[in-house]
Amino acid sequence: MSTAPATTSGGSDAGRPPPSVPRTAVPPTATPPTVTPAGSTPPAEQLVPASVSTPARGDSGWDPAERRARASQSFWTAVVGVPAIFSVLRLGIEAGGELQTTLLLVANVGPVNLLAGFLTTAARLLSTVLVAVFALGGVLVASGHRLARRPLFARWTEITPGWFVAASFLMALVTWPMLYLPLLLPAFAAAFQLRPERLHERPAVRALIVVAAYAGYLWLLVPTLRDAWRQAEALPIVLLVVPPLLALFVAGPLPRMVIRPLAPVTQLAVLVVLVWAALPVISTPVLPLTVTTVGEPGATAAGATEEIRGHVVTTDDVNMVILQERGGVRYVPVDQVRGQVLCPSEEELPRYRLRIHDFHVEDSLLEGLGRRVRPVHRVDAACR
């Protein structure tokens, strides 16, 4: 008995492939919705704890890494750009604002000499600005959690390497006048947040260490303080006695009611002091001050010579180019030069008659050591 073969509907369409089902393009980022039956628990990956949130962004929309990068860029731009701008401005002021004289100085004063001259004369100003920024920045960093937005000096202090901060204080130590060196103690304590509690855990021992250190410090300065008292010089006494005491209280976070107005005011004050202190630096001559004696060849009379006070720009086989102190450029034939002396400027004359163990209070450590190697000679009569 045979079984009839199974037949399919469609007749001649049986051998054709099934028609394709049209598909709708789905964007790669689209995620198909998940249907959750009523009464069931959603998938675990869809549950986001309430405590998890996106990284906090500042008021300006930058995250902390971006803010640090921008602060680092602005800091190093200021450190490199300010000396370059000051150096160019010094040439214009030295030339008296005259274009041709400025071009003459630019052609004869190389960039290396210009930068070296700026660092020599402005190292004190540069170290002062850096010490002030890092000292205020250390206090603002310690008190930053009490502010909605971190101040600029705080961000600069956070991104600056510790070795650079220490190098800034070292440069101030060797370039500041000795009269102002005690100010480095509270600035150092503020920058590195050094508190008296680190000396010893017991308050009695800690107080004994502080009193002994301060007494030894005053003992070293007794001769200077006595001379200042006899000369009725109050400012040197204050600058030598008060700063070590301030170093005991500057570290640590400040109250919120103090830090809020202090942050913008101190930053603005540092910028104002920088501009005020930069004016003498910009006006400082680039070239040394000399007095050149000139006269006609063969002249022996005293009245036949002339003294030209100014700065020697360059010398060749024909002429000596002198930028006169009262303005103007003088070309003097080299065969008429009779002599030349180096003269100090008015800013180099001392104001106080005080010394700290054979070092004048207005000299830095470098200047004091230099005077020991090369004692100061008498000023030539032509310079007066």
Structure tokens that stand for 88 in this block: 């160019």
Torsion sign, CA atoms 147, 149, 152, 154 = positive
As a 3-state breakdown, the chain gives helix, strand, coil percent values, each rounded to 5, of 55, 10, 35
Residue 106 or residue 117, greater confidence: 106
Q: Which of 321, 341, 319, 338 is nearest to 330 (CA)?
A: 321
Fold type of domain 289-383? SH3 type barrels. (2.30.30)
**Tell me, what's the pLDDT at 6?**
44
Measure the CA–CA gap between 328 and 334, rounded to whole angstroms.
Answer: 18
Per-residue confidence at 302, pLDDT binned at 50, 70, 90?
A: low
Nearby residues of 295 by Cβ (< 8 Å), 6 or more positions away: 304, 305, 306, 336, 338
In tens, the pLDDT along 208-246 reads 988 999 999 999 999 999 999 999 889 999 999 999 999
For tokens 């009193």, the residue is 211
Nearby residues of 296 by Cβ (< 8 Å), 6 or more positions away: 304, 336
**Tell me, what's the pLDDT at 101?**
83
Would you kindly state where each structural domain of the chain is located, as residue ranges? 64-283, 289-383
Residue 17 or residue 248, greater confidence: 248
In tens, the pLDDT along 355-377 reads 888 888 988 888 888 887 777 66
CB atoms within 10 A of CB 206: 15
